[in-house]
Structure 1
Amino acid sequence: MASKPSIPKGTRDFSPAEVAKRQYIIQTIKNNFEKFGFQPIETPSFENSETLMGKYGEEGDRLIFKILNSGDYLAKANGTHLEAKDSTKLTSSISEKALRYDLTVPFARYVVQHQNEIEFPFKRYQIQPVWRADRPQKGRFREFFQCDADVVGSKSLWQEVELVQLYDTVFTSLGLNGVTVKINNRKILSGIAEVIGASDKLIDFTVALDKLDKIGEDGVKKEMIEKGISEEAIVKVQPLFNFTGSISEKIQKLAQLLTTSEEGLKGVEELRFICDNVTNLGLTTAILDLDVTLARGLNYYTGAIFEVAAPKGVAMGSIGGGGRYDDLTGIFGLKNMSGVGISFGLDRIYLVIEELGLFPETVTASSKALFINYGDQEAFYALQAIKKLRSEGIKVELYPDNAKVGKQFQHADKRNIPFAVIVGGEEMSSNSYSLKNLISGEQIILDFEGLKNALI
């Protein structure tokens, strides 16, 4: 007996209703991207390994799906590494390609490769799947879509201001009111590390700090000590674990904490500019918050860092994030190309909207009417009307088989199709249509114009 087929953990099949809801989110995001002047691009689902490896830190590199070389991949494997069973060193000789981990690094590669064709500043958006060899859990998948918007070729902080507005506009359009757009600055984190004498441990410091909401204050301190950060340094950052007040008050506290760090103070001024202008311009439903523990664990952010939290009361990880990367394209040989971008987590946004019951009923609406099939002549008559109705933008369909009428009505009911159109010999001879409301049971005879108006 054949075993029951299944799919890999961390992946999903999507039903027609689920796809309709996902497309509603994607279309809403896409429409707003284009309102803000972003243009679409697409890149391959897999890249050369050297393009991706080393760009996300040690934790990120471990989560990259590697693709085995075609053919007898072991024939070209390094014998020493194979004998020693050293998988880390062996990988490079048996795998030259990898599935993309995000859309940002492939975008940087795209910019460098096509720099002579691009008009800068270049505002691009990209909506494609990415893959991560992560442990699956609620809201975390191994295959998921990212929806990114980036601007490269400009150092202007007005871009950050606009990206906060873009978050606000998209989530307001989706009915997700009350999301929190958290902001921090990598220069501030570097300044703090400098002030406490742990500049050489910046990445370890920021990776640990970024986990505050997941493992708590004690967990963060424990990880910092394990990474070699002194207890004296940890005492100096104690104020960060309970950093409260308005945005302006927090900025003032940071300015006092970082008086001896030039880079830290530069980060404070950048934050002040962004937050002041966002506040003065106003947000529709989103809330802006300065979160000094926000330290997204990626190596390439150099300025502002963003993360979006779902409305209060919804237990979900971040539903968006991004930041400024002044030297991302430098890793591919193109210097002085500053960029800033944000990402929307489609799958988590879907779960939040579903949990809050915010999907409009029209999103999953099926065909408006099913034409009952009484035979070939009747089917042809029906299809003539169907063709004209579809040209008017009305969703209608013909049951394909001349099956029992009861079965056809049952099919319409299971598909949540609200109307059935009956076209038998009598209707054909009078050039009319019988329209039956499958909810109320009411049935009326109409000419084509009447049918069209009833189904609009």
Structure 2
Amino acid sequence: MSNIKPSLAKGTRDFSPLEMVKRNYIFDTIKTVFKKYGYAEIQTPSMENLATLTGKYGDEGDKLIFKILNSGDFLSKVNPELLVSANSNLLTSSISEKALRYDLTVPFARYVVMHQNEISLPFKRFQVQPVWRADRPQKGRYREFYQCDADVVGSDSLLNEAEFVLIYQEALSNLGLKDFTIKLNNRKILSGIAEIVGKPELIVDMTVAIDKLDKIGLEGVIKELIDRGFTSADIDKLKPVILLEGSNKTKLGNLKEVLAGSSIGLRGIEEIEQTFDYLRLLLGDESLAVNVELDITLARGLNYYTGCIFEVKTNEVAMGSIGGGGRYDDLTGMFGLKGLTGVGISFGADRIYDVLEELDLFPESAAAGTKVLISNFDKAAEKYALPLLQEFRKANIAAELYPSPAKLKKQMSYADDKRIPYVILIGSEEMESSILTLKDMHNGQQQKLSAPAIIEFLKG
């Protein structure tokens, strides 16, 4: 017999029944909002062909994809020269044909292409499933975590972007969060900035660097830009843009001056302004909600974003982003379906869980499991309780009968451990009178009620 101590893979977690109730509270809250805005649920496999995923997330993202080794004696089919070379990049394609999905957006694009003759456009879907990334685990960052995505393809209307802002606002508010910021930017604005600096070919290098402003500060960004091929003169042009301040209106006005010579940059500004206009109309107010902010440093280094970019952060807890997304006009083109625009967002459910836990925002109802436990002192009480148990369940009340006769203390401990709020005590007196004793486990108070009265009480 093996004496190996059981352990979890680094960056993964078990979830207890109580944790699952809380997690499902988050999922159900977000799903309800998705459905309200016309999104329907799909699911895709946990693994995809490696070729489906690679090249979609940039070099940094590709490094974080979990590859799955081919089954069988996979090394026997590898060219011996590759084995001797010890080059993992060259060897990977020979020993791994599949990988765990990195996100839900690329599998969704693959789904759209494969099912294009079955779906109606615009196609609005949401998806709540786990994804995997070979990242360094830390607070709020796991190697296996759930994403809650909503995407729409086949519509270039910026109304979709505006509605995603409202979805974020409504879902996070419904979860109890009060102080959060929804940041917006546009990839075309970033392209315009790279263009006026004179380094359009370094757009990805620029965005990867400035996206780290919050983490490494201005000096860190400048150092990284220099390392990536930008000159001091380039950085002098970039600084005023990176450090842009003021209201959304002020920022857009200043950007129009800076990007006056860039047609793509001006298109990006127009798209942001149109999104803000939709929000004003939807909100019925001349001013935008205070938690919507234009942030030019927001780049989200994923290569497939081509238009609007989203990121959501809570200001109540020290935590990374709890949501993000953007428009990806060219994504399905990578799978052979050209000219199909798309835009989507994602909620970081695991980070949202940590935030709600730290702020103690889970309602008591989110921890609800069994509502009433029926005691079991002997065979006569068990026989009496079984029909009663079914009556509770028919009334949609979560109920349990303690499975075997036991002392009261043991049964009460069981109810406490499972956080069952009520216990029904059935003794000889209760069986004779049909008046049962209902105990409130929170305050210890007891009352005598008939079975129908208990059902009405618990339902109320």
**2:173, 2:445 → 1: CA distance?**
40
**1:262, 1:372 → 2: CA distance?**
75
Q: State the partner residue of 1:228.
A: 229
Aligned residues, how many?
455
- Taking the TM superposition and a 5 Å limit, the aligned residue runs for 1:267-416 are 267-282=268-283, 287-310=291-314, 312-416=315-419
**1:264, 1:361 → 2: CA distance?**
49
The change in CA–CA distance for 1:69 and 1:286 in structure 2 (over 3 A counts) is farther
Q: State the partner residue of 1:430.
A: 433
1:270-314 CA distance string (max 9 Å, x none)? 11111233244339976100000100100000000000011x242
Contact 1:178 1:285 survives alignment (8 Å): no
CA shift, 1:213, in A, is 0.7
Q: Secondary structure at the match of 1:237?
A: helix
1:330-369 CA distance string (max 9 Å, x none)? 0000000000000000011111111222111121123222
The change in CA–CA distance for 1:396 and 1:285 in structure 2 (over 3 A counts) is farther
Q: Secondary structure at the match of 1:11?
A: coil
Look up the equivalent residue of 2:217 and give its one-letter code: G
CA shift, 1:392, in A, is 1.4
The change in CA–CA distance for 1:268 and 1:17 in structure 2 (over 3 A counts) is same
Contact 1:177 1:286 survives alignment (8 Å): no
**2:44, 2:368 → 1: CA distance?**
32
Could you tell me which runs of 5 or more consecutive residues in structure 2 were left unpaired when the two chains were aligned: none
- Taking the TM superposition and a 5 Å limit, the aligned residue runs for 1:118-157 are 118-157=119-158
Judge which range, 273-282 or 154-163, deviates more: 273-282
Contact 1:326 1:339 survives alignment (8 Å): yes
**1:57, 1:352 → 2: CA distance?**
29
Contact 2:69 2:96 survives alignment (8 Å): yes
Look up the equivalent residue of 2:291 and give its one-letter code: I
- Taking the TM superposition and a 5 Å limit, the aligned residue runs for 1:179-198 are 179-198=180-199
Q: State the partner residue of 2:6.
A: 5
**2:228, 2:444 → 1: CA distance?**
71
CA shift, 1:5, in A, is 0.9
The change in CA–CA distance for 1:333 and 1:440 in structure 2 (over 3 A counts) is closer
Q: Does 1:451 align with 2:445?
A: no
**2:418, 2:128 → 1: CA distance?**
30
Q: Secondary structure at the match of 1:446?
A: strand
**1:54, 1:255 → 2: CA distance?**
33
TM-score by length of 2: 0.96
**1:440, 1:249 → 2: CA distance?**
57
Q: State the partner residue of 1:165.
A: 166
Contact 2:154 2:342 survives alignment (8 Å): yes
Q: State the partner residue of 1:17.
A: 18
Backbone CA RMSD of aligned residues: 1.6
CA shift, 1:437, in A, is 3.0
Q: State the partner residue of 2:59.
A: 58
The change in CA–CA distance for 1:370 and 1:279 in structure 2 (over 3 A counts) is same
Q: State the partner residue of 1:238.
A: 239
Q: Does 1:418 align with 2:421?
A: yes
Judge which range, 30-39 or 234-243, deviates more: 234-243
Q: Secondary structure at the match of 1:222?
A: helix
Judge which range, 415-424 or 7-16, deviates more: 415-424
**2:377, 2:425 → 1: CA distance?**
9
CA shift, 1:14, in A, is 1.1
